[in-house]
C-alpha cells in the first residue's frame, strides 16, 4: 500500500505542493474520518482565524471583532494561512504516519526541521515560535551534537535518521524541557496523537501527555493534554456535548487515565471552572499559560451552539488568539464533524486537501493493538553502528518513554468499572463494536 510521503528537511516543498496519496477507500471508516478531519481541519481553521489578530488585546477585538479569516495583521499572512500551531501539528502527524506509531525522537527531529528549515510551515520558514518550544528545540539540538559524536555519525542527517531503538540504547533523553514549563505550546499541536490512537483510549490519553513532555515538562502542561486528549477521543466516539462538559466526565472515564490522578489545576478545569456566562468579564483569559488556554477553549465550546460561533468566541477574547482558537478547534471539530465547519472557511484554508489527506491516514494507520504500537515505537533498523556503554545525558531522566506504552493498565477487580465507550449517534450502534468487527484484522511560553 502506497502511503502519503512527506518531503525531507532539505526539500523546499510547501505543504500545498506535496503530492497527495489517499488511503484505499475500503480501509476508511467514514464516521471516524468525519470526526478526525473535523478535529485536524478545526485546529488549522482556528489558527488561521486568530493569526491576523494574535496578541491584540480584548479591547481591540471589541472595536474590531473578527467575523471571518483576514489577511495582514500580526504576521502579514494571506487569509487562510496558519502559524506554528498547525505547522507543529502537521510535523507530529507526519511522524505518526511515517513511523506508523509513536516515536518521540522522530517527532523532535521534525519539530527541529520546522524551526531550522520551515518544514511544513505555510510560508516555508519558521516565523512564530513560543519561548518554551524554542528552548526545548535548542536543547535537543545541543544533545544531538553530543549524540552525533557518540555514535560516530558523519552528518546531521544521519543522526536525524537514527532509529528509536538506537536512541534508547544510547540513553538519549528526548524530553528536553523541565518542571515549571507550563505554556500552551504543546496543547495547541497535540491532536494527531489522540486521532491516531483513538481505538485504545487509555493509550491515546497517556501518549497525549508524553507528546507534551518533549517540550513542556511541567505536570500541568502534560495533564492538560491528557485531559483534552480524552475529550477528543470521546468526541470521536460521539459522546454528547453535555457529558463532555460535565464535571462527571473525568470520573466516568477514569479508566482511561490509568492510576495517575490529574493535576489539581486541571481537575479544577474538569470540574467546570470554564463555565462563566460573562466570558472575559468573568475572568476567562487568553494567555500563554496552559490552564488559561484550556479554560478559554472549553469556554468557547460551552458558550456556543456551532463550530463557527465557538471559533469566533475564542478569537474575540484577544490575546493568544490563534492558539486558543486552534485548541478549541481540535475538540469542536471532532464533536461537530468536518461537514459542519463553514464551507467558506474550508475553501480559504491553506493546504486544506493535504490536511484532509493526513486525517484520513491517521484514521487508517492508527491501531488499537498496544503491543503493535510498542513494537513500532521501539523497532530497530539495520545499522552498522556499534554502541559502547550507554551515554546518558546530564539532565536526569525522570521517566523512560518506553515505560509509558509497555502494556495495558491492570484493572483493580474490586474497583467499580467506569464507562468505556459511548454509543455513537452517527451510526446508531456501538461504534466500538462496529470498529472491532470491521477492522479486527488490523502561546506561547
The per-residue pLDDT for range 377-426, each reduced to its tens digit, is: 433 223 334 444 555 444 333 333 332 222 233 333 334 334 444 434 33
Q: Rounded CA gap, 107 and 151, in Å? A: 20
CATH number at residue 165: 1.10.4080.10
Tell me what pLDDT residue 391 has.
52
393 Cβ contact list (under 8 Å, min separation 6)? 143, 146, 171, 172, 173
Residue 5 in any domain: the answer is no
CB 134 within 8 Å of CB 368: no
Domain presence at residue 1: no
32 within some domain = yes
**CA distances for 272 relative to 55, 197, 379, angstroms:** 26, 26, 42
Residue 443 domain-assigned (yes or no): no
Ranges of H-type helices in 103-218: 104-117, 131-150, 156-160, 164-169, 192-197, 201-213
pTM here?
0.86
Q: What confidence tier does 367 reach under pLDDT thresholds 50, 70, 90?
A: low
Q: Is 83 annotated as a binding residue?
A: yes
Cα distance between residue 86 and residue 313, in whole Å: 20
**Looking at the domain assignment, is residue 445 inside a domain?**
no
- 301 within a domain of the structure (yes/no): yes
Q: Which three cell numbers stand for residue 29?
A: 471508516
The answer on whether 155 is annotated among ligand-binding residues is no
Is 322 annotated among the ligand-binding residues? yes
Residue 3 lies in a domain: no
Q: For the segment 320-357, what is each residue's pLDDT rounded down to a tens digit?
A: 999 999 999 999 999 999 999 999 999 999 999 999 99
Total count of domains within the chain: 1
Query: For residue 390, what is its C-alpha cell?
Result: 550507554
Question: Per-residue DSSP letters for 55-118?
Answer: T--HHHHHHS---S--SBTTTTBPTT---HHHHHHHHHHHHHHHHTS--HHHHHHHHHHHHHH-
Residue 37: which domain range? Answer: 15-438
Q: Is residue 10 part of a domain?
A: no
412 is in an annotated binding site: no
Q: How much is the pLDDT for 412?
A: 37
Alpha carbons 408 and 412: distance in angstroms, whole number: 13
pLDDT in tens, 32-66: 999 999 999 999 999 999 999 999 999 999 999 99
Amino acid at each position: 500500500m502506497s502511503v502519503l510521503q512527506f518531503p525531507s528537511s532539505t526539500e523546499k516543498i510547501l505543504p500545498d505542493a506535496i503530492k497527495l496519496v489517499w488511503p484505499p477507500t475500503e480501509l476508511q471508516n467514514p464516521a471516524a474520518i468525519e470526526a478526525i478531519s473535523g478535529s485536524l481541519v478545526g485546529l488549522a481553521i482556528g489558527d488561521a482565524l486568530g493569526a491576523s489578530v494574535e496578541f491584540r488585546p480584548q479591547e481591540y477585538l471589541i472595536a474590531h471583532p473578527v467575523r471571518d479569516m483576514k489577511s495582514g495583521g500580526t504576521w502579514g499572512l494571506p487569509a487562510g494561512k496558519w502559524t506554528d500551531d498547525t505547522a507543529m501539528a502537521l510535523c507530529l502527524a507526519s511522524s505518526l504516519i511515517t513511523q506508523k506509531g509513536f516515536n518521540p525522537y522522530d517527532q523532535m527531529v521534525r519539530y527541529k526541521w520546522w524551526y531550522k528549515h520551515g518544514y511544513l510551515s505555510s510560508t516555508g520558514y519558521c516565523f512564530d515560535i513560543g519561548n518554551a518550544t524554542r528552548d526545548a528545540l535548542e536543547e535537543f539540538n545541543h544533545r544531538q551534537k553530543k549524540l552525533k559524536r557518540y555514535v560516530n555519525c558523519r552528518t546531521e542527517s544521519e543522526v536525524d535518521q537514527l532509529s528509536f531503538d538506537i536512541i534508547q540504547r544510547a540513553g538519549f533523553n528526548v524530553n528536553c524541557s523541565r518542571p515549571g514549563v507550563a505554556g500552551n505550546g504543546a496543547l495547541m499541536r497535540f491532536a494527531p496523537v489522540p486521532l491516531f490512537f483513538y481505538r485504545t483510549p487509555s493509550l491515546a490519553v497517556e501518549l497525549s501527555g508524553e507528546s507534551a513532555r518533549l517540550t513542556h515538562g511541567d505536570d500541568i502542561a502534560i495533564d492538560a493534554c491528557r485531559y483534552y486528549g480524552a475529550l477528543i477521543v470521546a468526541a470521536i466516539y460521539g459522546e454528547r456535548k453535555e457529558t463532555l462538559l460535565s464535571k462527571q466526565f473525568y470520573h466516568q472515564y477514569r479508566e482511561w487515565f490509568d492510576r495517575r490522578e490529574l493535576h489539581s489545576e486541571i481537575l479544577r478545569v474538569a470540574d467546570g471552572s470554564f463555565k462563566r456566562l460573562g466570558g472575559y468579564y468573568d475572568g476567562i483569559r487568553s494567555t500563554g499559560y496552559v490552564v488559561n488556554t484550556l479554560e478559554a477553549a472549553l469556554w468557547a465550546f460551552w458558550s456556543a451552539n456551532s463550530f463557527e460561533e465557538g471559533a469566533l468566541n475564542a478569537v474575540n477574547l484577544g490575546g493568544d488568539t490563534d492558539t486558543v482558537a486552534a485548541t478549541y478547534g481540535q475538540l469542536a471539530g471532532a464533536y461537530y464533524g468536518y461537514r459542519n465547519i463553514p464551507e467558506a472557511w474550508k475553501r480559504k484554508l491553506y493546504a486544506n486537501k493535504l490536511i484532509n489527506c493526513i486525517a484520513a491516514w491517521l484514521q487508517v494507520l492508527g491501531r488499537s493493538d498496544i503491543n503493535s504500537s510498542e513494537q513500532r515505537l521501539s523497532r530497530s533498523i539495520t545499522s552498522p553502528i556499534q554502541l559502547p556503554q550507554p551515554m546518558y545525558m546530564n539532565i536526569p531522566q525522570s521517566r523512560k518513554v518506553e515505560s509509558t506504552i509497555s502494556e495495558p493498565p491492570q484493572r483493580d477487580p474490586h474497583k467499580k468499572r467506569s464507562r468505556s465507550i459511548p454509543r455513537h449517534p452517527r451510526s446508531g450502534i456501538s461504534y466500538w463494536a462496529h470498529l472491532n468487527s470491521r477492522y479486527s484484522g488490523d502561546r506561547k511560553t
